[in-house]
A and B are shown apart, each in its own frame.
Chain A
Amino acid sequence: MSTDQSTTTPTILPLGKALNAGLRRALENDPKVVLMGEDIGKLGGVFRITDGLQKDFGPIRVIDTPLAESGIIGTAVGLAMRGYRPVCEIQFDGFIYPGFDQIVSQVAKLHYRTSGNVKMPITIRVPYGGGIGAIEHHSESPEGYFAATAGLRVVTCSNASDAHSMIQQAIASDDPVLFFEPKRRYWEKGPIASDAASTPLHKARVLTRGSDATLLAYGPLVMTALQSAKVAADEGRSIEVIDLRSISPLDIDTVAESVRRTGRLIIAHEAPVFLGIGAEIAARINERCFYHLEAPVARVGGFTIPYPPAKLEEYFLPDVDRILDAVDRTFTA
């Protein structure tokens, strides 16, 4: 799944444990890194992403906070002003909204508002997306709100190796980074590349080469996209799969280069299609690749509805069949 090359035998880890290892390295490498969040101490977080870190780094480096998202983000702003690098865990995607004002009005804008005098090196980790049979407010994909806010960087990992390297790159950034973690992939194992920063944080990655169409996905749907490409290959279609990795800034160059070769683009994400990331990418590809396109850009994603009850989520989330249906549309247009 990764094009990173490593000479030694790579460590194999589940994505969640790769994040844990990345956080551990960040804590080891910089004494100013502090982790903050609800239940991240003794419990290790509800997904155990911070498992064992408070035990090893103490309660000042790994802070169990009161149950208040605005408070977590707002105090992180103050700590960042003091020279710390806070890494905030939001327990679930749907719980981020109480912290929305601090993120959008303060974290995103303070560097601009202070003419560059105040930096906000804050990482906000958000387990996101569906597919785990959860009750409401636990399966959302709110990345679009944050990508629409100038001043924030928005990235998402899809595999263990990226989880390990991208979380360290996000923490090292002097800008605030919304770090979206595909929670249903926390247990997917993969090799960890030893050279952590092999790919720049904001670079998309071509995962499989293809000639007939480009299939773009990010986060939890990258694995689904790879499965879709495999099925399409059995049917004789050569699909190029790209893992977007960064939502703001967008690496539109990598996407455009691919589309110029394949002539078709299908964008898949769990968030509703309406005003989703796919809309922005479609518009930009339209501007840049209009004469290379064999068909309109196709989007496949969630419907324009609130996230449904768990028993219905299989119909809401794009799966292999819905993605292939979108691929088909680009050949019959």
Chain B
Amino acid sequence: MFDNDELVQLVTETGQRLNHPEFSGYIDDIGIDAVRALYEDLVVVRRIDSEATALQRQGELGLWAPLLGQEAAQVGSARALHSEDFVFASYREHGVAYCRNVDPTHMLRFWRGSTHSGWNPYEYRMTTPAIIVGAQALHATGYAMGMQFDGTDGATITYFGDGATSQGDISEAFGFAASFNAPVVFFCQNNQWAISEPVSVQSRVSIATRGRGFGVPSVRVDGNDVLAVIAVTRAALARAREGSGPTLIEAVTYRMGPHTTSDDPTRYRSAALDEEWRLKDPLDRIRALLESADAIDDSYLAAVQQKADDTAAALRRGCLETVEPKPMSLFDNVYAESHSLIDDERRQFAEYLDSFEGTDA
């Protein structure tokens, strides 16, 4: 099941459920109520994203990396995790963070420039944004090696994009994970674009093929099909837990928005291509499934929208109420133990600030 490039799909673009001989069994427990909950996740996550984008446009955030179009890949994979698993994220995984119960307000602090990390990674068992592309895959592999040494049945999952697969660290992570049979799931969101470069610039073969070359069993999944993503991620996690080692998942999706709020996709891709993928919108697909199952009505939709709007309102309120760091916090946490150079500079800077009247250091 991890040895070919078939695109695993469990829900068609028109909302029909498909049977897959190997993967359907992994979502047998997901009935219509669970699908309704997933649809709510998708809507809320998209709403968080649009509100954050708006806050950036209004000058409240320095930057934002929108996840528009990648909601199913993120929600599906995150909902497959156990609480004790550990997530090593890139910088676009707001949907994963939401599913890990991170307060959306805390997600913004990084992008606002108030802190380098909005939450304690150990509290949610998810790392904060990692900007150096691909580096976190090695961290996930090392952590997974530690889980294996400790004899737990936990696993790690690490998120990265198609562009990251060109980084040496991703190749080294595949190599280490395969050698040590580490319980790690490599989750590549192939969103077709690394800023302006199409995936064809990164690789002449599928991303999944690259994993297999390292001896990492690999699967391609329709990343806009939330049920298929849950199924393949559960299958990969099951392999990790049973001691079968790493798996690479290539979730084929599309970055419907810009790379970040500083990007301008009209310079490098066509409206026709965007439109082609708009028709594969991951939210529309689940909505169609719910409609065909007659499991959706106006009151449900209104409740979902209310939850999304409430989340967005709390997000905005939290962002505007952010308590900004004080100047003297510059020197905090450079080292875990005291360091004479930092101590000297801290003291000198404090004296300098004190030389001004009314400084709140």
Contacts and interface: CB of A to CB of B under 8 A. Distances in A.
Interface of A: 34, 60, 65-66, 68, 70-71, 73-84, 86, 98, 101-102, 105-106, 111-121, 150-151, 153, 173-175, 202, 248-251
B229 interface: no
B143 A113 contact: no
Interface string B332-360: 11111101111000000000000000000
A74 B339 contact: no
A101 B172 contact: no
Contact of B138 (A70, A82, A86, A121): A70
A106 B139 contact: yes
Given A71-B173, A153-B339, 20 more contacts: A34-B149, A65-B176, A66-B175, A68-B176, A70-B168, A70-B169, A74-B135, A75-B141, A78-B145, A81-B121, A98-B168, A102-B138, A113-B128, A114-B117, A115-B332, A117-B122, A118-B121, A121-B336, A174-B337, A175-B336
11 contacts: A66-B176, A68-B175, A71-B169, A82-B142, A114-B116, A120-B336, A151-B334, A175-B336, A175-B337, A249-B341, A249-B342
Nearest to A248: B341
A25 to B, nearest CB: 21
Nearest to A73: B138
A128 B168 CA distance: 25
B327 interface: no
A262 B150 CA distance: 56
Size bracket of the B interface:
35 or more
A113 B117 contact: yes
B140 interface: yes
B335 A115 contact: no
Given A111-B333, A153-B339, A175-B337, A101 B135 contact: yes
A163 B55 CA distance: 55
Contacts of A113: 116-117, 128
A105 B135 contact: yes
Nearest to B132: A105
A249 B342 CA distance: 9
B335 A111 contact: yes
A77 B139 contact: yes
Contacts of B122: 117-118
Interface in B46-91: 88
A71 B147 CA distance: 17
User: Which of B88, B116, B156 is the most central at the interface, judged by chain A CB atoms within 10 Å of its CB?
Assistant: B116
A250 B342 CA distance: 11
Given A78-B138, A78-B144, A105-B135, A114 B337 contact: no
Given A150-B334, A173-B337, A82 B147 contact: yes
